[in-house]
Amino acid sequence: MLIFFKERLALLSVPKTGTTAYHAALASRADVAISNPPELKHAPVYRYNRWIRPMFDKVCNAEMELVAVMREPISWLGSWYRFRQRDALAGHPNSTADISFDVFLRDACRGKPPRHADVGSQARFLAPQPNGCAVRHLFRYEEPQKLQAFLETRLGYRFELPQLNVSPARNLAPSDETLALVRRKRAEEFALYDSIS
């Protein structure tokens, strides 16, 4: 998570959406850069609202505008699947090394997913809170130039975006039946993604 106090912006780090590259490019420009622990670096809106927003509200009488990136849902799940195939996870319950992408997607749609498919939900991560705390600027992962242009304009700061944490390429082609299941079970993800202008 990166917070730019003067510009009143907080860039949330939605996992598997390329925000590590923005962190690398902009951490030195940010007033607050949270890189660890992962529970704070990747704080969803509800955690930001509960712990970080009150700090700025009570101490500085300031409200940050939340900025976030969302990835197309199948691509996002594919990134998790590929990330969990790495050798370092061999034999671990989170590993997807011996699991097909179809099985992974089906497991991710279960009410209580097994550990290898327990990756959460972008829609839940980005869900607005009852007090009005919500992402004001939401960008598609697939259109990085739009977020970069927005940040460069708001920050008055040009930057190069490095390529970091790229999961190994895999040919992921789920069955039509599995895709239909994911679209039905994770409908809120697709609706949110489709709503991004």
C-alpha pair distances (Å), 9 with each of 93, 96, 115, 154: 37, 36, 34, 9
pTM of the model: 0.93
Question: Is the bond leading into 144 cis (omega within 30 degrees of zero)?
Answer: no
Q: What pLDDT, on the 0 to 100 scale, is given for residue 162?
A: 86
Q: Which domain holds residue 101?
A: 2-195
Q: What pLDDT, on the 0 to 100 scale, is given for residue 167?
A: 65
CB 74 within 8 A of CB 182: yes
Q: Give, rounded to a whole angstrom, the gap between the first and last alpha carbons of the chain.
A: 23
Q: What pLDDT, on the 0 to 100 scale, is given for residue 26?
A: 97
Q: What pLDDT, on the 0 to 100 scale, is given for residue 143?
A: 96
Which CATH number do you get for residue 116? Answer: 3.40.50
Q: Determine the Cα–Cα distance for residues 144 and 18; give it in Å rounded to an integer.
A: 9
CB 100 within 8 A of CB 172: no
**Residue-level pLDDT, tens digit, the chain, 197 residues:** 999 999 999 999 999 999 999 999 999 999 999 999 999 999 999 999 999 999 999 999 999 999 999 999 999 999 999 999 998 888 899 999 999 999 999 999 999 999 999 999 999 999 999 999 999 999 999 999 999 999 999 999 999 998 876 666 777 889 999 999 999 999 999 999 999 98
CB 35 within 8 A of CB 27: yes
Q: What pLDDT, on the 0 to 100 scale, is given for residue 165?
A: 67
E-strand stretches of the chain: 2-4, 9-11, 32-33, 65-70, 135-140
- Give the DSSP letter of residue 3: E
User: How many structural domains are present in the chain?
Assistant: 1
